[in-house]
Amino acid sequence: MSSGSPSSPSAGDGSTSPSNGNPVPRPREKIPGYIFGDVIGTGAYAKVRRCYSEKFKSNVAVKIVSKKSAPKDYLSKFLPREIQCIHKLRHKNIVRVLEILETERSMYIVMQEAEKGDLLDFINANHRKIAEKDAKIYFQQILEAVEHCHIKNVVHRDLKCENILFDKDMVIKLSDFGFARTINPENCQLKTHCGSLAYAAPEIVKGKDYDGRISDVWSLGVVLFAMVNGKLPFNDTSVKNLLTAINKGITFQSNVSEACRDIITAMLMTDTGRRAKIKDLLKHAWFDPDASSPYRSCSTPSPREMDVARDEKHFIKTPNPSPASTPRGTPEHQQPLVMNSDVSDSSTPGPYHTANESSGEFSGSDQMST
């Protein structure tokens, strides 16, 4: 989301008549106290507009959900869950919801604006990677935001670079709780498979029941990998190929430190019992340059255990490429980082299979089910 004042409402929004090419007026959203401006984000069932709020005396972001176009199960299940979750959360690194309004046609979720855009744009603007010294600062904020969610018994289920925003001071703001839900910490196995394919934990991709807190950690591992490597670790166009890529393991850029490789590996364990917990990640040696070993804090296996795990294919292998194997200036370094791969919500992984081979963008059925 870029900064700037919202544009004044107009009679139409630029669409044309098929008969004479003249603009066809369309009604603009209108609620008292808000001046609606440009669309700054779109989703399957909602759009986000920059607005000026007379009440808050500032620009805000307003998520607008049409009651007429959104599916009934989204309006009856997922939207109420989102509202329930955001009411429970209040943290410096989570987008703050200012108020929620409802009309006959729409729901309006009024949020603070994230003026500096999202993490994906930031990675692309920084030559497709972020220096580790900066990545540490941002990723610690991301971890603290997700930890707050889990403490409040909320799982996000759609952690990805596009949903991690920056405010005007470059402070992280976690956003988009459209797939979030509350959990019972004593029995938190979930059945609904949702999120974005390239970020989805293998247990979700395989259609298994899962602990949302543990699957969130996998997505965090994908986010950090993208931050320091400038690409996704597993970005493929089908579930089968994705799982094959996961089994093959990840390859780091040669300049990624051992401690950074270790914390990412700890998050990208396919064995959910060995995947790191957020409380351990926050104490990992990557955040402490004076630590003698990157293995000291996180629940990461010893080198011997790692060798055994490789043989048993229980975790993501992390080969260390030589500088010659990943030269700067190769096409993968030059191309923009593409991370649009939304997975539809379903009780089986079937909808994941629809893909646009040419663009690399995934699309799934809009149908959602438990």
Catalytically active residues, by annotation: 158
Nearest-angstrom CA–CA distance, 147 and 164: 15
Burial class (CB in 10 A: 0-12, 13-18, 19+), 101: middle
How many CA atoms lie less than 13 Å away from 98 in the CB half-sphere?
19
| C-alpha closest to that of 199 among 119, 257, 318 | 119
